[in-house]
Amino acid sequence: MKRTTLFVLMTAAAGVLGGCAGMNQSASEGGNPFATASFQSILKNDFAPKGQAKLDRLVQTKQQYECSKYEYLGKPMPAEMSKKLESEAMAGIVYPKDGKFLGDWKAGLKIAEDGKGKQWSDNPDKPSGGNCLACHEMVKNDPSQGNIGPSLVDYGKLRGNSEAILKYTWGRIYDSAAYNACSWMPSFGAHHILTEQQMKDVMALLMDPKSPVNAN
């Protein structure tokens, strides 16, 4: 998805919110229209649990709650709060148990291309994809890739593979909110989207000199 499309979608969503009763009550909820009883009841009435998509998905995490509140208010989040959310996310990062960050880049490429998983119609016993290419350019000169996130072409070539870079990249994939409280990147580890092995494979895709990210 391209950045412009996302903004159009977000604007459309804000328009819908602006028209509902939740807005009037939002002041008493610290300005978050998603938290009002009326908005929550609209959600509960309009969504039905199906397959693995249960209604607990409507419950925002503290980070999602605070980020949508400031997004809605059109105000920057106070630095103290973003720092706190980032350090909480950082404390939750689980690094590879065997100390090895890199798996198989070929498996990583399939994961980066795969946008399946977590929907009610997906088999919950099958591993989910990472859908990295929906937001990032990872392979040079392929116009089908998205640009919501920065280009990752030549990632390993440009950054090297020091312990610090390996840890940073793992942390980004595990829970991007550790580096940017209101990051738009899914928290692949913290929200159990990818397994430890899958994250290692995607890491190898970014780092391996032979992967299409670096060999181009």
CB nearer to ligand HEC: give 42 or 185. Answer: 185
CA dist 212 → 77, 97, 137 (Å): 38, 27, 11
CA dist 162 → 42, 119, 158, 199, 207 (Å): 49, 37, 12, 18, 10
Whole-number minimum distance, CB 119 to ligand HEC, in Å? 15
128 near ligand HEC (CB under 6 A): no
Tokens found for residue 156: 């390993």
Q: Quick one: how far is CA 8 from the chain centroid?
A: 19
Q: Which of 112, 153, 178, 190 binds ligand HEC (CB under 6 A)?
A: 112
Q: Which of 35, 67, 102, 135 binds ligand HEC (CB under 6 A)?
A: 135
- x-or-dash string of contact with ligand HEC, 195-214, rule CB under 6 A: -------x------------
Stretch that binds ligand HEC, among 29-37, 77-85, 93-101, 171-179 (CB under 6 A): 171-179
CA dist 117 → 88, 120, 174 (Å): 27, 9, 17
**Residue 141 backbone class (left: φ over 0; alpha: ψ -120 to 50; beta: rest):** left
190 near ligand HEC (CB under 6 A): no
CA dist 205 → 56, 102, 168, 169 (Å): 33, 9, 15, 12
Backbone angles phi, psi at 50, to 5 degrees: -145, 125
Stretch that binds ligand HEC, among 11-19, 50-58, 65-73, 178-186 (CB under 6 A): 178-186
Q: Which of 139, 173, 178, 213 binds ligand HEC (CB under 6 A)?
A: 173
77 near ligand HEC (CB under 6 A): no
**Percent helix / strand / coil, the chain, rounded to 5:** 50, 0, 50
Q: 12-51: which residues touch ligand HEC (CB under 6 A)?
A: none
Whole-number minimum distance, CB 19 to ligand HEC, in Å? 27
Binding-site residue total for ligand HEC (CB under 6 A)? 22
90 near ligand HEC (CB under 6 A): no
180 near ligand HEC (CB under 6 A): yes
Backbone angles phi, psi at 95, to 5 degrees: -85, 160
